[in-house]
Amino acid sequence: MECYEGATMNKEFVMRGQTASGETEILNFRGNKPGYGYRLVQFDLFPGSGIGSDANELCGTVTAGKVAVTPTDPDFDDPGLIASAMFGASSSQAYPYSFIFIINDLFVITQDLILMVQDTSGGNNAVNWQCKFEKVKLSKSGEAVANFNQFTIYDG
């Protein structure tokens, strides 16, 4: 996993990597500057191999809970589910490419997240992913509320 900071006074940054299908990554937010939180604003998936083959079907989730939310069975009632994404490409369809992502961009992140990806096209290949975050300044009370919210999701 790599992290890249944007040229906009460090207000945005990207975490990206390649993860084996069915596996998880920890997106580390521990040790970040006090008084700041982060919002996930973009979540992208892209095939790790088999590009141009007959089909690619990928899905992924980002969660603030203790365990990952399975990308093939996301439950939008889960308060820890921050994002869910699907990527599909087929060389044999009239519309060969589709991408859908849903993000709770109001969720203020102050602790580690879990990302999980899955290749559902049968190839079980690694999946490329990229998450863009936006830094938000928090008051002391805002930071306490964000920490409490994420802790109760994690501990619940």
Number of domains in the chain: 1
Q: What is the mean pLDDT of residues 69-82?
A: 93
Q: What is the mean pLDDT of residues 81-105?
A: 80
Would you state the pLDDT for residue 22? 93
What pLDDT, in 10s, does the model give residues 103-122?
A: 999 999 988 999 999 998 87
What pLDDT, in 10s, does the model give residues 22-49?
A: 999 999 987 667 888 999 999 999 888 7
Would you state the pLDDT for residue 41? 96
Q: Which domain holds residue 85?
A: 2-155
Would you state the pLDDT for residue 44? 93
Q: What is the mean pLDDT of residues 68-83?
A: 93
- Coil, strand or helix: which one is 33? coil
User: What residue ranges in the chain does DSSP mark as E strands?
Assistant: 2-5, 12-19, 24-27, 36-47, 55-63, 81-90, 97-103, 113-119, 127-137
* pLDDT-derived band at 5, boundaries 50, 70, 90: low
Would you state the pLDDT for residue 118? 94
For residue 6, is pLDDT > 70? no
Residue 64 near residue 153, CB atoms below 8 Å: yes
